[in-house]
Structure 1
């Protein structure tokens, strides 16, 4: 695999680590199976691209794309909390609606950003690492968002959000509004996804209405791989797992597509993705089961070795 292919895989991995962080908030913290990300990812890209071609500062355009994703998450949560629509269905409805909204926002299926000033061109005068420049910039974004999520989940609102996702009845007994926490958590989750879409459009030079296809699968794959490797539920390690999992996932995909002897071609990407996710889930379940079996065996062993009284 060439250095250019590795650099491209790392760029994609760092971008989708932001998606994995968003998926972590919705799936793991809130216990909300959210499919909105397949729509909020291209929404962030579309909003940012339209803003940039209309002369908006790239940094402000990135904020606009992030806010657009936040609004998408708010809609899904509002449908679930206010109208009691099943969380999975609420996400699907928002995702479907966002396809048309993204077309409305862009006015056409795709927008090219080639020749436009982006957030990456602004950093080129500060960081010049050749083909690794974009990766370095994205690494800064990924680490910053990871630390921001860590901080957020340690605040009173973050602790209430975690309690609401872990045990809604107990959280309600402690005067925590589960509905409000769902809205806040989903908004923050999809804001991260919108930011990922915004950075993706600027790094790749194009925003396309079909960018979101398979985004949720990629985010889940990164999350599960990270959990399998680190095996910790603590926030710091869980969010770090999102970054590591996304990088490993994209590197594995790039390696599989570059391995000519395997006969894998570009059209097999979805098949490779499905296989990787299935293997990650199987390994995660095997590790969890072995952990649960280990302690009962140790306890029985210790009890058998205790000296007999009398």
Structure 2
């Protein structure tokens, strides 16, 4: 891989690190399987692109607006589950399907080019450093800031209540915690991070597309699984940091697989590579836990 490819892969890895943090919050903290991200990722991109191109908004405000739109999408999913008792997976699917049509309306078509307009990355153009070097540094900084904010939040009273609601809803209710409210804000926050990632992703590649959310949930889960399998995740900080590391390693694994000439893979095979990598990560995780149980049983004997 060339330096340009390495920096590009690192850049994409940091973006999907935000998706991984959202997946960690819903799947691990709240125990809420959320499929809304398939729609909230392109939603953030669509809102950001439409505000910049059509309305001439400042790109920083447009990016923030994309995150707010993602929060609304996640909140709606949790509301369907909490208020109307719709199964969480089904609620996420319903929102993801509806967001596809909403994104088409927002962009007035299947995509919205961002060529020739100012983006958040143009703010660093005056330093004389090439964009392909500045972008991964900037995205790494954004990801670390979000990581710090998530960790601070999860150690506040609200964050502890959210963790309790996911770990043991019955006990949390008995202690006066509104579990439904925790789901509303937790799923909303997770999708806000995913939509923020979508807004940044669109500005990196110069366009927002209604189909760019396909497979995002798998990428997020793969990042969480890979990261927490390779690194210690005993504390919240370790677990969230592992998610980001997992996202970067996952993107490098995909890039290396696609660049391995002896495999004969093409760029169109990225979804196949994703599925295989996730399957291997799950098999390795299961095998590791199986070996641990085996050796524990041997020690007892």
TM over 0.5: yes
Equivalence for 2:6 = 6
- Report the Cα offset of residue 5 of structure 1: 1.4
The answer as to whether partners of 2:121 and 2:131 remain within 8 angstroms in 1 is no
List aligned pairs for 1:118-197, cutoff 5 A. Answer: 118-126=119-127, 128=129, 131-197=132-198
Deviation track 1:111-170 (CA, whole Å, cap 9, x = no partner) reads 111111011101232572552211011000111111111111101000000000000011
For residues 194 and 126 of structure 1, what CA distance do their matches in structure 2 show?
A: 28
For residues 56 and 219 of structure 1, what CA distance do their matches in structure 2 show?
A: 29
Give the TM-score, by structure 2 length: 0.96
Equivalence for 2:33 = 33
For residues 170 and 227 of structure 2, what CA distance do their matches in structure 1 show?
A: 29
1:228 is aligned to 2:229: yes
For residues 297 and 274 of structure 1, what CA distance do their matches in structure 2 show?
A: 34
Give the TM-score, by structure 1 length: 0.94
For residues 168 and 247 of structure 1, what CA distance do their matches in structure 2 show?
A: 33
Equivalence for 2:60 = 59
The answer as to whether partners of 1:44 and 1:194 remain within 8 angstroms in 2 is yes
**SS of the residue 2:126 aligns to:** coil
Residues 290 and 127 (structure 1 numbering): CA distance in 2 closer, same or farther, change over 3 Å?
farther
For residues 131 and 100 of structure 2, what CA distance do their matches in structure 1 show?
A: 36
- Report the Cα offset of residue 289 of structure 1: 3.1
Equivalence for 1:272 = 273
The answer as to whether partners of 1:127 and 1:133 remain within 8 angstroms in 2 is no
The answer as to whether partners of 2:71 and 2:188 remain within 8 angstroms in 1 is yes
- Report the Cα offset of residue 291 of structure 1: 3.4
Equivalence for 1:19 = 19
Equivalence for 2:287 = 286
Residues 112 and 243 (structure 1 numbering): CA distance in 2 closer, same or farther, change over 3 Å?
same
**SS of the residue 1:210 aligns to:** coil
Name which of structure 1's ranges 126-135 and 31-40 shifts more when overlaid on structure 2. Answer: 126-135
The answer as to whether partners of 2:125 and 2:131 remain within 8 angstroms in 1 is no
For residues 231 and 237 of structure 2, what CA distance do their matches in structure 1 show?
A: 11
For residues 79 and 297 of structure 1, what CA distance do their matches in structure 2 show?
A: 48
List aligned pairs for 1:193-232, cutoff 5 A. Answer: 193-232=194-233
For residues 131 and 90 of structure 1, what CA distance do their matches in structure 2 show?
A: 39
Structure 2 spans left out of the alignment, 5+ residues? none
Deviation track 1:259-295 (CA, whole Å, cap 9, x = no partner) reads 1121111222111111100011111122233334444
Residues 161 and 175 (structure 1 numbering): CA distance in 2 closer, same or farther, change over 3 Å?
same
For residues 128 and 187 of structure 2, what CA distance do their matches in structure 1 show?
A: 34
Structure 1 spans left out of the alignment, 5+ residues? 302-310
**SS of the residue 2:137 aligns to:** helix
For residues 271 and 182 of structure 1, what CA distance do their matches in structure 2 show?
A: 32
